[in-house]
Amino acid sequence: MTEKPSLHLLIAAPRGFCAGVDRAILIVDRTLEKYGAPVYVRHEIVHNRYVVDELKAKGAVFVETLDDVPDGAPVVFSAHGVPKAVPAKAEARGLTWLDATCPLVSKVHRQAERLVEAGRHIIFVGHAGHPEVIGTFGQVPPGAMTLVETVDDVLQLEPADTDALAFLTQTTLSVDDTAEIVEALRARFPGIVAPRGEDICYATSNRQAAVKAITARAEAIFVIGSPNSSNSLRLAEVAERGNVPARLIGRAEEIDFDWLGSPKVVGITAGASAPEILVREVVAKLATRFTITEEEVRTATESMIFKLPRALTENA
């Protein structure tokens, strides 16, 4: 019997679920407990197929619009946030609704409202079409915000009043890319008002820092997450920027051993919506081809916990 080659795994920490994702999943679970199945969820509660399938098995029904929610059924809004028109429509229909928007996204929503009330036009740094961007734009009147995705977009801006600008950012962006865009904004518009504190969430920043720590030693990196997960995509980009080949995979079965080859050291991390069970699954799959040793590389410890909506804690 041929002896398996050795492979040392550098497992990034923090990785996987953040407090906002924990809260969102718990909201769906508690809503199912309180009201019984089915519970409708507008958009994927978080961007992870495994999580969505687990909740479907418990009785959650995922829809893209409130028009697909029957009268009288409870509905949960996803962690990415929704435009103001969505809860307003739910109220008008008399639906029981619960908001699983991450509190850090909600903070950006409130900042947007305050800035527009103060007469400022907002330059929003984000990715077109992402649910978080759609939700944030939906907090303010049409035309009150302009989206930029790159430094080139910043250079093309022609605002009506350069003295009344502010900027905000999507919470799941690349820290490095965003810093470059913000630098370009400040250079073009020195009076632009910055957000109160960092918009990119602590979990996104921490996971990117952990990936940077393992790129110094890894020959390849697996990022566990869904292709529609912004923060997971950014983790793969951070690895590539560190000149380490990276692959975004949803499950262990997606490991391409031909691509991987015969490395001695491989890094593993997971996006903020990927559960730890998927990390263990990937390690187990690698162990079918290699003799594994594991090392956790920790760059931060997270203790954040977000409260559940009052409707789920009353009389609990």
- 279 sits in the region (left: phi over 0; alpha: psi -120 to 50; else beta) called alpha
- The 3-class SS string of 213-264 reads HHHCCCCEEEEECCCCCHHHHHHHHHHHHCCCCEEEECCHHHCCHHHHCCCC
Regarding whether 289 and 223 lie in a shared domain, the answer is: yes
d(CA 34, CA 209): 39
β-strand partners of 123: 146, 167
Q: Is the pLDDT of residue 1 over 90?
A: no
Residue 315 confidence (pLDDT): 63
pLDDT tens string 144-195: 999 999 999 999 999 999 999 999 999 998 899 999 999 999 999 999 999 9
208 in the same domain as 158: no
* Contacting residues for 16 by C-beta, under 8 A, at least 6 apart: 224, 270, 271, 272, 274, 275, 276, 279
Are 226 and 293 in the same domain? yes
Give the rounded distance of the alpha carbon of 200 from its chain centre.
Answer: 10
Using CA atoms, how far apart are residues 266 and 57, in angstroms rounded to an integer?
34
Is there a single domain that holds both residue 282 and residue 246? yes
Tell whether the model's pLDDT for residue 199 goes beyond 90: no
Helices 49-58, 19-35: inter-axial angle, 10-degree rounding: 10
Co-location of 219 and 244 in the same domain: yes
> Tell me, what's the pLDDT at 40?
97
DSSP string, 35-100: H-S-EEEES-SSS-HHHHHHHHHHTEEEESSGGGSPTT--EEE-TT---THHHHHHHHHT--EEE-
pTM above 0.95, yes or no: no
> Would residue 116 count as lying in a domain?
yes
pLDDT at 273: 94
Residue at 195 is within a domain: no
Active site residue 296: no
Q: Which of 87, 154, 86, 97 is nearest to 126 (CA)?
A: 154
Q: Does 314 map to a domain?
A: no
Give the residue from 77, 102, 127 where a domain finishes.
102
Give the CATH number of the domain where residue 243 resides. Answer: 3.40.1010.20
The whole-angstrom separation of Cα 226 and Cα 219 is 22
- Given this model, what pLDDT does residue 23 score? 97
The CATH number of the domain holding residue 82 is 3.40.50.11270
Same domain, 214 and 270: yes
Tens of pLDDT, residue by residue over 283-303, are 999 999 999 999 999 999 999
Query: Using an 8 Å Cβ cutoff, are 121 and 165 in contact?
Result: yes
Structure tokens given for 184: 């370009």
Last residue of a domain, one of 127, 157, 188: 188
**207 and 293 inside one domain:** yes
Specify the pLDDT at position 313. 87
Please check whether residue 193 lies inside any domain of the structure. no
Boundary (domain end) residue, out of 70, 102, 134:
102
Say what the pLDDT of residue 22 is.
96
Pairing of strands 60-63, 75-77: unpaired
Residue span of the structural domain in which 212 resides? 6-17+202-298
What is the distance of C-alpha 225 from the center of its chain? 10
Query: How far apart are the C-alpha atoms of 297 and 213, rounded to whole Å?
Result: 7
> Is residue 306 one of the residues assigned to a domain?
no
> Are residue 168 and residue 92 in the same domain, yes or no?
no
Residue 307 maps to a domain: no
Copy the structure tokens of residue 274: 């990927």
What CA–CA distance (Å, rounded) separates 127 from 148? 8
**Is 123 in the same domain as 97?**
no
Confidence at residue 314, expressed as pLDDT on a 0 to 100 scale: 76
Residues 6+ apart with CB under 8 A from 287: none
The answer to whether position 284 is within a domain reads yes
Catalytic residue, from 44, 132, 219, 276: name it. 132
The identity of residue 232, as a single letter, is S
242 lies in the same domain as 162: no
Residue 244 lies in a domain: yes
Give how many domains the chain has, as a whole number.
3
Same-domain check for residues 254 and 278: yes
Clarify whether residues 176 and 234 are in a common domain. Answer: no
